[in-house]
């Protein structure tokens, strides 16, 4: 966390404010405004449980703590409790998975593998021949079932992977893929237990 990082603060009672990081210490984060009115807890509160949320390059992070008025006027101080919680920014949960997939673009055909998959899309590699905004048809082999649909290339990496966003994956195909993702999550959780 760096100075001037914008954060959203939600007090346990529901009061919400937007602030900027004014200072960071070993056991506190001071929060001020960017040119707006000063920040103070409502008069009847000396302290309150609160959650601070901010965006990172990889998603969002939440941090619980105790919020008090800081020694300097117009600033709130959060004393963090526990470790930050990182949250995926995607609408759908992604799971790592190596699945065979066929992708057909207007002038390209390739058979490749997924690096990860979700109900909303997949990351495939190698796929250097696909370019941003290519509209594609795909067939994704889930083992006992193959899911097919349409999609669009929405991102690429320097090592040749391409992210494909599914378009209108509905009905049975969506249910099958959702079931696969949930099963894969359970396998990963079970594998991480001692």
Last residue of a domain, one of 69, 88, 107: 88
Range of the domain at 44: 6-88
Total domain count for the chain?
2
Predicted local distance difference test score (pLDDT) of residue 194: 55
Q: Determine if the peptide bond prior to 126 is cis (ω within 30°).
A: yes
Helix (H) and strand (E) counts in the chain: 1, 14
pLDDT digits (tens, 9 = 90+) for 81-131: 988 776 655 567 788 999 999 999 999 999 999 999 999 999 999 999 999
On whether both 121 and 72 belong to a single domain, the answer is no
On whether both 100 and 150 belong to a single domain, the answer is yes
Of 117, 119, 111, nearest to 138 (Cα)?
A: 111
Of 17, 28, 34, 32, nearest to 73 (Cα)?
A: 32
Predicted local distance difference test score (pLDDT) of residue 92: 74
On whether both 50 and 30 belong to a single domain, the answer is yes
pLDDT digits (tens, 9 = 90+) for 21-65: 999 999 999 998 866 567 888 777 889 999 998 877 656 788 899
Last residue of a domain, one of 49, 73, 88: 88
pLDDT digits (tens, 9 = 90+) for 139-159: 999 988 999 999 999 999 888
């Amino acid at each position: 966390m760096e100075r001037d990082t914008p954060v959203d603060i939600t007090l346990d009672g529901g009061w919400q404010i937007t602030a900027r990081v004014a200072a960071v210490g070993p056991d506190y984060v001071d929060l001020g405004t960017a040119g707006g009115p000063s920040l103070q807890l409502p008069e009847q509160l000396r302290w309150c449980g609160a959650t601070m949320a901010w965006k990172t390059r990889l998603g969002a992070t939440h941090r619980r703590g105790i919020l008090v008025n800081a020694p300097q006027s117009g600033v709130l101080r959060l004393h963090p409790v526990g470790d930050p919680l990182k949250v995926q920014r995607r609408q759908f949960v992604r799971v790592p998975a190596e699945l065979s997939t066929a992708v057909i673009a207007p002038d390209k055909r390739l058979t490749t593998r997924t690096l990860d998959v979700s109900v909303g899309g997949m990351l495939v590699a190698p796929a250097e021949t696909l370019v941003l905004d290519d509209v594609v048809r795909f067939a994704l082999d889930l083992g006992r079932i193959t899911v097919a649909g349409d999609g669009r290339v929405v991102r690429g990496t320097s090592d040749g992977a391409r992210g494909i966003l599914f378009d209108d994956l509905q009905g049975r195909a969506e249910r099958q893929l959702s079931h696969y993702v949930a099963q894969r999550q359970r396998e990963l959780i079970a594998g991480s237990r001692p």
